[in-house]
Amino acid sequence: MLSSDQHHTMDFNVKKLASDAGVFFTRAVQFTEEKLGQAEKTELDAHLENLISRGDGTKNWTEKILRQTEVLLQPNPSARIEEYIYDKLDKKLPSKATNAELLGQYMLDAAAEFGPETPYGSTLITVGEYQKRLGGAERELLHTSATTFLTPLRNFLEGDWRTISKERRLLENRRLDLDICKARVKKAKQAEAKAAAAPDFQETRPRNYVLSASASALQSGWESWDLTAEPNVSEEGKLLSEEVDKAEHELRVAQTEFDRQAEVTRLLLEGISSTHLNHLRCLQDFAEAQATYYAQCHHYMQDLQRELSRCANSVSGPASAAICPNPVSSAFLSGPSIGAAVSSSSSSSSNQKPRTPTMEQMQLPVTGARKAKVLYDYDAHDVSELSLLADELITVYTVLGMDPDWLIGERGNDKGKVPVTYLELLS
């Protein structure tokens, strides 16, 4: 059996549920009639409408930028879903190696199997180490971008914007309530004016007629009605007047609540300007993280090319031959145009052992003189080489018996060997 308190609580919940359902239904009717043009709608002021439009644009574009940045940083959709699940569970995602780090580790494992002292094994070790460095730089980019860019954008969508959306929904409900009260006042005044202009006996006749119990009254037809059957027009007018007063009071309350909610919503939406400033700083941090990452990648690849080039051309003595017994072709590193130049240069000397040209050999007749653009900075390792600066133009040519991975470069009166992998040969 339920106690009296439980019965009271249950009755209260049922009444509240019925009341909420009634309010919801009334609002739904008002909203539908507005859409059909059958009811008047209170319009928001222009400033608030502009703020709402600006807020919607901020939310929509923030969502798009956030999603596309996530795709850029993590192209694998399965990995993104896993990160999202861990984030929702408020758990730290287990540390995973980047793709470049995995590739580097595979190369090192392959070198261990093939033999690190073999030409292929030693090159695998060199390239693998640099792949792991590239992976480390990528990991740092992911961490920095998540902290300084993705997290603030996500916090806005899941924090500030949810609050704004909640208050905007409440504002819309307050507006519907206000328009319902306006319609109610209008109908009450119309009924009052109609009753005052032309009172209708049938409409105003009281319903509590009293029949006389006397037999003579029953036989006399209309004489059987009590004198109270006369219409009470003043009482009906009083009821209509009270209805108007009640509707106007509810309208004033609804107007006050609407104005208060409009002000709250306006203040929240004006905070979007601060959101823009915050996102601007986050955007600058993201761009700086990208610049750092790409600079590191460029630096690592320059060092890798320099090491591979040095390994490929350090064959003048037994010791260096033991370190790099199988030089890496520069055609593999420099792309089609440089590869073609190398293959054409090496066709005439394929049966000759490459050797480092002496200064006397540099005085021999030149072949294939042409202009070249320097791709990367290069520091000369000895007096026979020419230091280079990125983006400068020099003249290059070959001499008889020269290693095909190298050219002779000239810049004014300066002359020396330059690696083909650092050049873009111009026609």
pLDDT tens digits for range 265-302: 999 999 999 999 999 999 999 999 999 999 999 999 99
Distance CA 15, CA 131 (A): 70
Confidence check: pLDDT of 84 > 70: no
Burial 268-287 (b: 16+ CB within 10 A, else e): bbeebeebeeebeebeebbe
pLDDT tens digits for range 6-63: 555 656 565 666 666 778 788 888 888 888 888 888 999 999 999 999 999 999 999 9
Helices (H) and strands (E) in the chain, counts: 13, 5
Contact 328, 308 (CB under 8 A): yes
Confidence check: pLDDT of 376 > 50: yes
pLDDT > 70 in the chain, percent:
70
Distance CA 112, CA 13 (A): 74
Distance CA 420, CA 427 (A): 15
The two structure tokens encoding residue 144: 């920095």
Burial 67-94 (b: 16+ CB within 10 A, else e): eebbeebeeeeeeeeeeeeeeeeeeeee
Q: Considering only CA atoms, which of 173, 157, 390 is closest in space to residue 279?
A: 157
> Which range among 225-234, 327-336, 413-422 shows the weakest confidence by mean pLDDT?
327-336
Confidence check: pLDDT of 322 > 60: no
Q: DSSP string spanning 119-179?
A: HHHHHHHHHHHHHHHHHHHHHHHHHHHIIIIIHHHHHIIIIIHHHHHHHHHHHHHHHHHHH
DSSP tag of 211: B
pLDDT > 90 in the chain, percent:
49
Q: For residue 369, what pLDDT is reported?
A: 84
pLDDT tens digits for range 324-355: 544 443 333 434 333 333 333 334 333 443 44
- Mean pLDDT, rounded, for 368-387: 88
pLDDT tens digits for range 139-172: 999 999 999 999 999 999 999 999 999 999 999 9
Distance CA 26, CA 28 (A): 5
Contact 375, 422 (CB under 8 A): yes
Which is more confident, 213 or 92? 92
Return the bridge partners of 370, or none.
Answer: 396
- Mean pLDDT, rounded, for 408-413: 91
Confidence check: pLDDT of 239 > 70: yes
Contact 73, 153 (CB under 8 A): no
Distance CA 81, CA 65 (A): 17
Contacts of 109 (CB under 8 A, 6+ apart): none
DSSP tag of 81: H
Provide the whole-model pTM: 0.59
The two structure tokens encoding residue 378: 């290069």
- Mean pLDDT, rounded, for 129-142: 94
Helix (H) or strand (E) holding 181: helix 161-197
Averaged confidence pLDDT in the chain = 78
Q: For residue 257, what pLDDT is reported?
A: 96
pLDDT tens digits for range 177-209: 999 999 999 999 998 888 887 655 444 444 443
- Mean pLDDT, rounded, for 200-221: 42
Confidence of residue 2 (pLDDT cuts 50, 70, 90): low
Q: Which parts of 301-378 are beta strand (E)? A: 367-374
Q: For residue 79, what pLDDT is reported?
A: 67
Confidence of residue 312 (pLDDT cuts 50, 70, 90): confident
Distance CA 93, CA 83 (A): 7
Burial 33-62 (b: 16+ CB within 10 A, else e): ebeeeebeeeebeeebeebbeebeebbeeb
Which is more confident, 425 or 168? 168
Q: Considering only CA atoms, which of 418, 385, 398 is closest in space to residue 349?
A: 398
The two structure tokens encoding residue 284: 């600058």
